[in-house]
Structure 1
Amino acid sequence: MQPADTPLSDRGEGQALRLAQRLSTEGNFADMASDLPRAAMTAQALSDENGVGIEFEPLLRERNFGRLRGQRSLTWRPGALSVC
């Protein structure tokens, strides 16, 4: 699990561009995204390709997983995300 402020990797940037190109054939749409870097960079790729405006919404931010943040999910013990 990556920290929330991690930007898109080169691979992620390529994926965002391909998504934007694919969605350009779907017609007009609005773009709303989290204001965190990975989501914002993906939304910007969509905007650049399709000319749509972006509305950044903090309420769309990913959850805070506390001490699990930054750890690989393979290292989590069973039940680490269970709700009490």
Structure 2
Amino acid sequence: MSKLYFKGYKVVELVFIRHGQTNWNLEGKLQGIIDIPLNDRGVEEAILLSSKIDKEFKKIISSPLDRALKTAQIVNNNLNIPIELEERIMERNFGELAGQEASFVKTMRESTKDYGVETIKDFTNKLLDFLGDCSKLESGRYLVFTHGGVIISLLSHLSSNKINWENTPIKNCSLTGLKYSQNWEIDFINSHALDINKISC
């Protein structure tokens, strides 16, 4: 029996990958849904990741934002599997605050909703809806190229808010795994490309 079945239940494994570095990452700016491209280092990170991923995945699911999709396309050069675009795993919409330094936004006392910022509730509900659909996928492994806010929001939800950006910052081109049999569980967090062969998928 395939190891992707546990006590008769199928197992769906999602390996989330945060996009490679951008200049706004370096500058500490909120990117949100603004289409900021990878910088040279971000491209190099994706190339390194591509050279390390040699496991079998059924398909790639990617945010349509350029920084995530470009990372996915570079990695897919060695995999040649289908890429499916998924708007629900785009970064949180920061409205008028996009482009501001994250450190400044944290000090704001007024409601960010006044600036057109997507609420945490709406953002999380959208991601949980995505996870719900993924639980219906055929048993197997899937690569998901997305954003730091997406990954940390899912981890926070699944850990009952024990994991957050302050204690677990998600690194560019790092890998985080979620696994579903009867429920979604956290498998691993923030693994580096060089550790890919140590991941027990």
Q: TM-score range by the shorter chain?
A: 0.7 to 0.9
The TM-score, its normalising length taken from structure 1, stands at: 0.79
CA deviation vs aligned residue, 1:3-23 (integer Å, no higher than 9, x gap): 521111111111111112121
What residue in structure 2 maps to residue 72 of structure 1?
A: 101
Q: Which amino acid aligns with 1:28?
A: E
Of 36, 54, 64, 2:65 maps to: 36
- Paired residue for 1:62? 91
CA distance in 2, matches of 1:7, 1:72: 18
Question: CA shift at 1:49, angstroms?
Answer: 2.0
The alignment yields a C-alpha RMSD, in angstroms, of 2.4
Shift in Å at residue 74 of structure 1?
2.2
**Which one-letter code corresponds to 1:6 in the other structure?**
I
Structure 2 equivalent of residue 10 of structure 1: 40
Structure 1 residue 53: Cα displacement: 1.8
How many pairs align? 82
What CA distance in whole angstroms lies between the structure 1 residues aligned with 2:39 and 2:31? 11
> 1: distance between equivalents of 2:84 and 2:76?
11
Partner of residue 20 from structure 1, selected from 50, 53, 60: 50
Correspondence for 1:48: 77
Task: Say which structure is richer in strand.
Answer: 2
Query: After TM superposition, what 4+ stretches of structure 1 lie above 4 angstroms from structure 2?
Result: 78-83
Q: Is the 8 A contact 1:17 1:46 kept in 2?
A: yes
One-letter identity of the residue aligned with 2:95: G
Counterpart Cα distance in 2 of 1:28 and 1:68: 40
Is the Cα contact below 8 Å between 1:46 and 1:52 reproduced in 2? no
Q: Which runs of 5+ in 2 are unaligned?
A: 1-29, 113-118, 121-201
Q: Which has the larger radius of gyration?
A: 2
SS in 2 for 1:43: helix
Q: Name whichever structure is richer in helix by fraction.
A: 1
CA contact (8 A) 1:6 1:38 kept: yes
Identity of aligned residues (%): 35
Matched residue of 1:50: which SS?
A: coil
